[in-house]
Structure 1
Amino acid sequence: MVILPLHLSSLADEQKICRYTVLRIDKCSVTRKLRTSDGAMAAIIIAEADVLDTVAEKIGNPEKVLGSAAGSAIPAPSAPPAPPPAQQQPQQQQQPSFGGSSFMNRVEEAKPAVYGGGGSGAAPIVQPIKDLNPYHNRWTIRARVTQKSAVKTWNKPTSQGRLFSVNLLDESGEIRATAFTQQVDRLYSLFEVGKVYYISNAQVKMARQQFSNVNNQYELTFEDSTTVELCTDNGNVPQEQFNFVALSSLMKFEKGNMVDVLCVLQQVGEATEITPKSGDRKMTKRDLTVVDKSGYQVRTTLWGADATGFELAVPAVVAFKGVRVGDFGGRTLSLPSTGTMTANPDIPEAHMLRGWYDSAGRTMAFQTFDGSGGMGGSGAGGDLRHDAGEVKTMAQVRDENLGGSEEKSDFFTVKGTIAFIRSSSLAYPGCASGDCSKKVTENSSGKWWCEKCQREFAAPAYRYLFSVNVSDYTGQCWLQCFNETGEKLLGCSATEAIRLQGADEAAFAKLIADATFKEFRFRCRARSERFNDNVRVRTSVVGMNAIDYVAEAQRLSALIEAMQ
């Protein structure tokens, strides 16, 4: 059996490796597995190989040397191999032997020659991280620690213990490694971020991507036999690697995707405590506002110790690795426990970004994904600028079944006229605290109670939640508007609109009429929701702009030219 590593699997996907393909194997290892029914099986793990040719038929008359029907005489794993003779010919002069026992002896002898092993006082021969796989356990890597987590504990009905993890980097890639319980005391103090180590004898297994922020299908688990040795010769081991994306491109990523961003810290919010939906414990959070050269600003949330211990002053360049993309209000970012945050990194990209911000970014009006940030005028489409060439008609939204999946949301931009505003249910009574938007209920004493905050208020803070019917020349659809969109559309707070509705019906009717039959560009999120076994598409507005007719004319002109 031949096993290809991840970096060579594309050769098979592209049909460059197929039946009767001739390979030149430059580097490999051979391991032995035992099968109770078929006898022994050897696995050749290819590390480096080149495709030479693909022939029409097999070459020569290959013979099966392991697992034959007759059953080769292969020693059990516990049986020691025969001692080598005192005098041996060079390997290239040895004649091939197809007997099971001699073949497996050569397999065992070949292993150290492929990847090597460190002798006492000598640097071991190392294997690249990209070549690690579960089928080979005799390896040594030389890697830099780029991230080290705090020691965490877990308590379950069936088990309890502690763990910590490190991210390891070499010239070929990254991998995450985790130590559990007994290994925590032995290894935690050995690892220091930024230093390079020789590591061997850890278990390689499939990665649990929900706990990792590195791009590797495998991860390591430290065991009793794992050895860790500080490496002093670390000149060619790279520092932490990033794959930065622009803030303007976040719409291309699904909710929950991990990305790296390089940005300028523009605003720092206060640390606050919130109670999650599970309600079992309170969590500390802090919201940051970050910007970059793409002209966008995004809210980024820190949690726990990252939030309470944050002391960075604005403006500062920050490199985030492994931040999670959210879709609240269009697009947001959140730093999970597996992510990292590096202030003012000493990399060329960071120096260039700081130079741009000092010269031009300080006075720039940044765009947002939720339509609530500074627009600096409508510009070329405002916060929907990145979709300037992708405005869809109502017919396209219907024909493409956007929002038809319960698994993910679809985002799109439409341009249309508000034909009707459903004013009968314009807003709901919300919590009066600044960081909570939950609906409150009136009790018998005339006070308003928030179940989430466990607090009572004299009056609610109303928040918009209403639907509008938007139409274009191809059709119409209903869009759900939230508080930020409502304030922008009606020009007043929801509390003021509700007060006007009860005190002056004529003034309230004029407020609604003034907002009707106006044309806007809407950034929308559509998703199917199930309610009482019925599935319906709910389309919400995450950003809204007045039409910039100069930019719109340029967009239509470009579309016409593209069709000619």
Structure 2
Amino acid sequence: MTYSLSTGICQRLHNATPNEDELFNGSHTLQVLSLKKVGKQTENTNLPTDRYRIVLSDGVHFLQAMLATQLNEMIVEKHLTRYSIVCVERLSCNYVQEKRLIIIMALRIIGQEDKKFGEPVSIDASLSEAPTPAPERPLQQSTFQPVIPTAQPVSRSLPKSNWHPIEGLSPYQNNWTIKARVTQKSELKHYSNARGEGKLFNVTFMDETGEIRATAFNQIAEALYPRLEEGKVYYVSKGKVNLAKKKFSNVMNDFEISLEKQAEVEECLETTNLPMIKYSFVSLAELQELTKDSTCDIIAILKEYSDVSEITSRATNRTMKKRELTLVDKSGFSVRLTLWGNQAENFKPDEQSPVIAFKGVKVGDFGGRSLGMIASSTMTQNPDIPESHALRGWYDSSGSGSTFQSHNASGGSFSGAGGSGFNRSEIKPLLEMKLEANRIPESEEKPVYFSTRAMVMHVRGENIAYPACETCNKKIVEDGGSWRCDKCDKTLSGPTYRYIMSFAVSDHTGQLWFQGFNDVGDAVFGKTANEVIEIKERDDAQYNLLLAKACCQSYNFLLRAKRDSYNDNSRIRYGVSRILPLNYKEECDALLNLMDTPWGQQGLKTESNNMVY
């Protein structure tokens, strides 16, 4: 394949100033000549996350840059290699000792070559120390710790473009200035220990390359607290960089800043090139995949909120104020999020049902899944980001009339259409489940719920889906070339097919027939009912192959067992309320946990009792 490199772009980057947004946010096609790890010196050294130096060529010149750490996975997974052709989509330019430091923030791999294009040369003598490596040399970790040049001290006569990236801070630097946004500021807290009493507060600073936590104590805390405001951008210098105390922070940085007496903080009044808060959103439905006490970013609609209430902490016996928010999103789920202290008292929606973005909220397991604000969490109403606009459009057009599910308390799974959710600790084999279901009295109208694990053995393909109304999901009938929904009393141009499945499953104890609807078919086939019906009507052989591929797959099922009558015969019908593909990590963790129970230890006790000493 022929690629056209962006000739001349290395020269432009070498001469660029930090305000050239069009250049740094444009798309440039370049070739990777070299990748070199410049991270930890030894396994026992407490240094930051591995960094990669990258040499890029436009076919005429080459220059050095650093790869942002969020792109490391592309190298680890061997997607980004030597001679890769890439489209660099976003860069950051910073100054270190009056030299440009280019950081690649986003790139896309276009293709792979086995040799370099042209005979590129170094952009200037300062880069001649990084020649194109010999073809035989593989990518390997550097055996020495590189010395990263330190930033010049901030001077009122120097332009404010001479700032240092947060991602490049380390304890080995003394003179640096960062330009960063305050994304979180804690309350001014009082503490008491063996050395006396004092005050402290912490803030989280963020720029394009990362974030870092900073803490101020006593007099400097009193001086800086009123000057630092969430959302504003500041120049910060002369702080001390130390190893981060991870138990006090969830900020993704191996270092933190101590703001001592010599620290300088000045508000940035520029209106261009300002760092923005970066999010990594998960949907409310995905909370089931997150572990308790982990943190995440979410964006959701505020459905409702409670008044402020007070509770007494059992750990400290102190009274705390709290307020609970109910949040919903496009995934069809809702979750409760708790605000504490001043945030709870001062919370006020900007409008009815605002969009709220949360960064770094803590995942709890109360009621299945819940969320809570912690000291380092941030909350922004109606942020000016694409995700916010998309969520607002969805809610205003259709979401406000939707119904939402909540996470239940059964192992982080979801509730079905009534009853409890799938519970791994209560899994029953098919035979045991069948025996219990057969004991359901004929007069009993309420269903009984079971959790089980089984393999799909056969899917009936005759009537696998029905033509449905896209509004009410009821069956519609064809009427003279069009389709009619009697419930909605309207004529439709065509149906939306929905699954109505009957399939046999088995485990080591026996076999049963289950019935399932649309979500079950989506999970079993990985296709919509419309797609499956189109295959069925077009090609019988391909349809039969699709049915065969759906077999021999295991799932966790939440079942709704209920007695009904068919042709005057009483029988038990097993309807699938929830189908979950196996998560093998969770299954292995469950087996390991089982080994720690008395049941899992009984063999060890027997062996111990039989040992001869």
With normalisation by structure 2, the TM-score equals 0.49
Q: Cα gap change, 1:512/1:147 in structure 2, threshold over 3 Å: closer, same or farther?
A: farther
Aligned with residue 314 of structure 2, among 250, 253, 277: 277
SS at match of 2:317: coil
For 1:367 and 1:548, the matched residues in 2 are separated by: 22
- Residues 242-273 of structure 1 show CA distances to partners (whole Å, capped at 9, x for unaligned) of 22111110112111111111000111122221
- Counterpart residue identity of residue 52, structure 1: P
- Give 1:155 shift: 2.1
- Counterpart residue identity of residue 365, structure 1: T
Aligned with residue 52 of structure 1, among 121, 127, 133: 133
- Residues 422-446 of structure 1 show CA distances to partners (whole Å, capped at 9, x for unaligned) of xxxxxxxxxxxxxxxxxxxxxxxxx
- Residues 508-543 of structure 1 show CA distances to partners (whole Å, capped at 9, x for unaligned) of x999994898344589xxxxxxxxxxxxxxxxxxxx
Aligned to 2:448: 518
Q: Cα gap change, 1:246/1:157 in structure 2, threshold over 3 Å: closer, same or farther?
A: same
Aligned to 2:459: none
Aligned with residue 203 of structure 2, among 157, 161, 166: 166
The answer to whether residue 399 in structure 2 is matched with residue 361 in structure 1 is: yes
8 Å Cα contact 2:369/2:409 also seen in 1: no
8 Å Cα contact 2:183/2:205 also seen in 1: yes
For 1:15 and 1:248, the matched residues in 2 are separated by: 28
- Residues 432-480 of structure 1 show CA distances to partners (whole Å, capped at 9, x for unaligned) of xxxxxxxxxxxxxxxxxxxxxxxxxxxxxxxxxxxxx76232767xxxx
For 1:517 and 1:360, the matched residues in 2 are separated by: 32
> Mean Cα displacement is larger for which, 321-330 or 346-355?
346-355
Aligned to 2:255: 218
- Counterpart residue identity of residue 518, structure 1: V
Aligned to 1:534: none
SS at match of 2:51: helix
Percent identity of the aligned residues?
Answer: 38
The answer to whether residue 182 in structure 2 is matched with residue 145 in structure 1 is: yes
- Residues 380-415 of structure 1 show CA distances to partners (whole Å, capped at 9, x for unaligned) of x9996xxxxxx8xxxxxxxxxxxxxxxxxxxx659x
Greater RCO, 1 or 2 (C-alpha within 8 Å, sep 6+): 1
For 2:134 and 2:518, the matched residues in 1 are separated by: 55
For 2:185 and 2:442, the matched residues in 1 are separated by: 56
Aligned to 1:561: 549
> Mean Cα displacement is larger for which, 219-228 or 513-522?
513-522
SS at match of 2:343: helix
Aligned with residue 516 of structure 2, among 549, 558, 562: 549
- Residues 330-388 of structure 1 show CA distances to partners (whole Å, capped at 9, x for unaligned) of 1100111221111222222112211111111111111111179xxxx967x9996xxxx
Q: Cα gap change, 1:168/1:562 in structure 2, threshold over 3 Å: closer, same or farther?
A: same
Aligned with residue 198 of structure 1, among 228, 231, 235: 235
- Counterpart residue identity of residue 152, structure 2: G
Aligned with residue 128 of structure 1, among 160, 165, 175: 165
- Give 1:292 shift: 0.5
Q: Cα gap change, 1:177/1:512 in structure 2, threshold over 3 Å: closer, same or farther?
A: farther
- Give 1:162 shift: 0.6
For 2:131 and 2:313, the matched residues in 1 are separated by: 53
SS at match of 1:471: coil
SS at match of 2:203: strand
8 Å Cα contact 1:262/1:318 also seen in 2: yes
For 2:226 and 2:233, the matched residues in 1 are separated by: 14
- Give 1:548 shift: 6.5
For 2:271 and 2:131, the matched residues in 1 are separated by: 30
The answer to whether residue 43 in structure 2 is matched with residue 6 in structure 1 is: no
The answer to whether residue 275 in structure 2 is matched with residue 318 in structure 1 is: no
Aligned to 1:115: 151
- Residues 267-321 of structure 1 show CA distances to partners (whole Å, capped at 9, x for unaligned) of 1122221122225211111211100011110011111111222222641111111
Aligned with residue 254 of structure 1, among 291, 306, 313: 291
With normalisation by structure 1, the TM-score equals 0.53
For 1:350 and 1:382, the matched residues in 2 are separated by: 34
8 Å Cα contact 1:378/1:548 also seen in 2: no
* Aligned counterparts, 1:332-481, within 5 A: 332-370=370-408, 471-473=428-430
- Counterpart residue identity of residue 6, structure 1: T
Structural RMSD (CA): 4.4
- Residues 115-163 of structure 1 show CA distances to partners (whole Å, capped at 9, x for unaligned) of 3333342235221100001122222212122222221111234432111
For 1:49 and 1:344, the matched residues in 2 are separated by: 46
For 2:131 and 2:375, the matched residues in 1 are separated by: 40
Aligned to 2:244: 207
> Mean Cα displacement is larger for which, 263-272 or 137-146?
137-146
- Give 1:54 shift: 7.8
Q: Cα gap change, 1:254/1:119 in structure 2, threshold over 3 Å: closer, same or farther?
A: same
- Residues 15-68 of structure 1 show CA distances to partners (whole Å, capped at 9, x for unaligned) of 99xxxxxxxxx9989xxxxxxxxxxxxxxxxxx9898358679xxxxxx9xxxx
8 Å Cα contact 2:185/2:204 also seen in 1: yes
For 1:51 and 1:8, the matched residues in 2 are separated by: 19
Aligned with residue 184 of structure 1, among 218, 221, 231: 221
Which runs of no fewer than 5 residues in structure 2 stay unpaired?
Answer: 1-37, 41-47, 53-71, 79-93, 98-128, 139-143, 434-438, 454-513, 527-546, 553-613
For 2:131 and 2:322, the matched residues in 1 are separated by: 51
8 Å Cα contact 2:154/2:176 also seen in 1: no
- Counterpart residue identity of residue 260, structure 1: D
- Counterpart residue identity of residue 153, structure 2: G
For 2:452 and 2:339, the matched residues in 1 are separated by: 30
* Number of equivalences: 348
Q: Cα gap change, 1:551/1:237 in structure 2, threshold over 3 Å: closer, same or farther?
A: same
Q: Cα gap change, 1:219/1:355 in structure 2, threshold over 3 Å: closer, same or farther?
A: same
For 1:557 and 1:241, the matched residues in 2 are separated by: 36
- Counterpart residue identity of residue 550, structure 1: F
8 Å Cα contact 1:285/1:304 also seen in 2: yes
SS at match of 2:205: strand
